Amino acid sequence: MVLFNQALETRDYARFWDAARKYMREKYCEDDGVVDGVWYTLPSRARDFGVCGACYAGILEPLGLSRFWVRKMDVPPGKKVLCCFNINHPRFFKFLPLIGQMDFTLDPKPLDEYALVYASIPICPRDEDKPNLRWYGWRDCTICPECYQEFARQGPLANLMEYHDIQVAENSICDMYSPRMRNLYTECGRANPPDLQKLLQYSAQRAQVYTETVPQIRMMLFQARMQLQQQKMLNTMSSHYTMMGHMDQITYGTHHSYSAPGIGYGFANANLLQGAAYGQQAAGIMSNLVSGGSTMAVQQLEQRWRAVE
């Protein structure tokens, strides 16, 4: 797209075809990563920051930004690496405005500085509990590396932390993405002396509410999604049998009527009866989904969690 837009603006189609040939020679920027590709990076050589050869040829060269980039030579053979310009990269939408800024100002420094700090830091998991991640903070108040870098490392409480980039085996969530927790962290840090216990006590109470609400919410939503899938399948089967039934009726006529308890009577053939049965099952599932019981339970649990989040 960048190549094509450049060609339309400049009317230099020879340059477009030359760039397109370069692009086609590179490995495609796959959504799950590139193996044994050519990689480029900025002069700071930020860890875990790289752009594949296809994006270099298809984006950076047409924009006239390739002069700011250097070859990245530290990618081991056989290792699959996700390009930072791929939309599936977790920081793509953080990099995107900085790429636009570089194009406008011809200054790579903002992107370079951001990549140097954040390219190797995982995106904050927020309230997704995950095992075997690296954490800062305390056992009762875990802080992800991103929230530590952009917020928690500043202030007196940072000197009291038990965890400093420590891998924790059990499932943990980040406590510091929340504005409420950030305000409490700041308040406790400003106390004289800093009031760590207030932060940890609230965080422990918050974790208890999380345990009592969020897993149940996720299970209910998962069950609802499964029911929706079942309802879609039943609707498809109902349509299939109903269509077959109408074709049979046109082809062979109606010699008998079919009925079944709870479904109805007067169906021209067995396929029409079966289609009605599947349709009734689908309607029953949808009725249960919209009845309000599960929705009300999810809303109540969510309100409990949001009250302390």
3-class DSSP assignment, residue 216: helix
pLDDT of residue 64: 86
Decide if pLDDT at 306 tops 90: yes
Decide if pLDDT at 135 tops 70: yes
State the pLDDT confidence band at 8, using cuts at 50, 70 and 90.
low
Residues contacting 212, CB < 8 A, separation 6+: 304
59-111 pLDDT, tens digit per residue, is 898 888 999 999 999 999 999 999 999 999 999 999 999 999 999 999 999 99
Task: Report whether 68 contacts 42 (CB < 8 A).
Answer: yes
16-60 pLDDT, tens digit per residue, is 677 778 878 889 999 999 999 999 999 999 999 999 999 998 889
Structure tokens at 236: 């498809």
pLDDT of residue 11: 64
Residue 135: strand pairing partners: 166
Structure tokens at 96: 């995107």
pLDDT of residue 2: 58
261-301 pLDDT, tens digit per residue, is 888 888 988 899 899 998 988 888 888 777 767 778 888 99
Greater model confidence, 295 or 115: 115
How big, in percent rounded to 5, are the helix, strand and coil portions of the chain?
A: 55, 10, 30
Residues contacting 20, CB < 8 A, separation 6+: 3
Mean pLDDT (whole number) for 120-149: 95
206-237 pLDDT, tens digit per residue, is 999 999 999 999 998 898 889 889 999 999 99
**Alpha carbon distance 92, 102 (integer Å):** 15
pLDDT of residue 203: 96
The angle subtended at Cα 99 by Cα 95 and Cα 100, nearest 5°, is 120
**Alpha carbon distance 241, 250 (integer Å):** 14
DSSP structure class, residue 52: E
pLDDT of residue 10: 64
pLDDT of residue 295: 79
Spell out the domain ranges in the chain: 2-118, 133-194, 209-308
Decide if pLDDT at 141 tops 70: yes
